[in-house]
């Protein structure tokens, strides 16, 4: 069965003709075809709000205002207490935990790049899924996800853009991610992959390539791919998604009803993890079984 991933070239890489050529060559060698592509500018991304939706819980952490509790783990709270010598609940109850967006006001309008650099230098503690905090003495606050405003700005800048793509392939999803796209940490990526090949040539490209600026985003599974297509693309581009087609054949339901059901499951971390690197046919079988319960 055909697999189809959602992908995009990230803002830091989109202007490089060398990178575009590399992607084209690796796709051709791996028999990966680009069935849809569209360039979206930073102002368009800003109007749509899709960047915050794409980064999900990372963005929500950065926007934390003391309202709805952040998701934490017992291990994370223990690490917080060990490193900062106070409890997470105590700091939260005293209003000393703020998202990066609000911390900038407390820090007298510090720029997003400066905030990111200082936050990283202080050392962050992971207290929950996509929730990282660092103590800012000058603000007398713990700052959540201080790296994110800089990422958001990179996407929304007036001169920024991303190149959206739908990538079709017959190989196993696991092989596609490992040998075509490459590990999210480029230094660990296979040499023949996009990230591995370009990481080895970063100095020639005069470009920083790291786990954040790692050239290209690609879906982790057919479930993620469908959810991301619905987030980023018009219905005409996702209604024929291979996972939707396979689910429709197994359940007899229409694509819109299936899409709404799948979107709800795609937000569940445990469900996301279950389907990472699984091929479309097996994902469809598992989702159909879940629907039948």
Answer yes or no: is pLDDT of 1 > 70.
no
Q: How far apart are CA 160 and CA 177, in angstroms?
A: 26
- Where are the chain's structural domains? 64-148, 220-293
pTM summary value: 0.93
pLDDT digits (tens, 9 = 90+) for 33-57: 999 999 999 999 999 999 999 999 9
Cα→Cα distances 155→45, 110, 148, 213, Å: 7, 19, 11, 11
Answer yes or no: is pLDDT of 267 > 80.
yes
pLDDT digits (tens, 9 = 90+) for 110-151: 899 999 999 989 999 999 999 999 999 888 999 999 999 999
Among 26-40, 60-74, 100-114, the range with the most confident prediction by mean pLDDT is 26-40
pLDDT (average), residues 173-192: 97
Q: How far apart are CA 55 and CA 162, in angstroms?
A: 15
Q: How far apart are CA 133 and CA 156, in angstroms?
A: 24
Answer yes or no: is pLDDT of 24 > 90.
yes
149 in Cβ contact with 62 (< 8 Å): yes
Q: In which residue are the tokens 């739908």 written?
A: 166
Answer yes or no: is pLDDT of 248 > 70.
yes
Helix axes 255-266, 242-251, angle to 10 degrees: 110
Answer yes or no: is pLDDT of 263 > 90.
no
The per-residue pLDDT for 235 is: 94
Q: In which residue are the tokens 């490193």 written?
A: 83
The per-residue pLDDT for 268 is: 84
23 in Cβ contact with 163 (< 8 Å): no
């Amino acid at each position: 069965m055909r697999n189809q991933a959602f992908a995009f070239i990230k803002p830091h890489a989109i202007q490089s003709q060398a990178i575009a050529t590399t992607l084209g060559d690796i796709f051709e060698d791996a028999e990966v075809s680009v069935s849809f592509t569209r360039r979206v500018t930073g102002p368009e991304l800003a109007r749509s709000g899709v960047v915050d939706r794409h980064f999900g819980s990372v963005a929500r952490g950065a926007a934390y205002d003391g309202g709805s509790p952040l998701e934490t783990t017992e291990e994370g709270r223990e690490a917080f207490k060990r490193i900062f010598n106070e409890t997470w609940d105590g700091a939260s109850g005293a209003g000393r935990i703020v998202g990066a967006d609000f911390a900038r006001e407390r820090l007298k309008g510090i720029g997003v790049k400066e905030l990111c650099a200082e936050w990283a230098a202080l050392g962050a503690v992971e207290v929950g899924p996509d929730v990282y905090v660092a103590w800012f003495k000058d603000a007398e606050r713990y700052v959540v996800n201080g790296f994110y405003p800089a990422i958001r700005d990179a996407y929304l800048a007036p001169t920024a853009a991303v190149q959206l793509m739908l990538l079709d392939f017959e190989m196993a999803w696991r092989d596609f991610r490992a040998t075509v796209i490459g590990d999210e940490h480029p230094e660990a990526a296979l040499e023949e992959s996009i990230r591995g090949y370009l990481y080895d040539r970063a100095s020639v490209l005069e470009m920083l390539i790291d786990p954040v600026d790692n050239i290209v985003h690609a879906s982790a599974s057919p479930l993620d791919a469908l959810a991301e297509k619905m987030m980023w693309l018009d219905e005409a581009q996702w209604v024929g998604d291979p996972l939707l087609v396979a689910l429709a054949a197994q359940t007899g339901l229409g694509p819109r009803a299936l899409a709404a059901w799948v979107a709800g499951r795609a937000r569940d971390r445990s469900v996301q993890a279950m389907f990472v690197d699984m091929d479309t046919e097996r994902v469809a079988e598992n989702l159909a079984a879940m629907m039948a319960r």
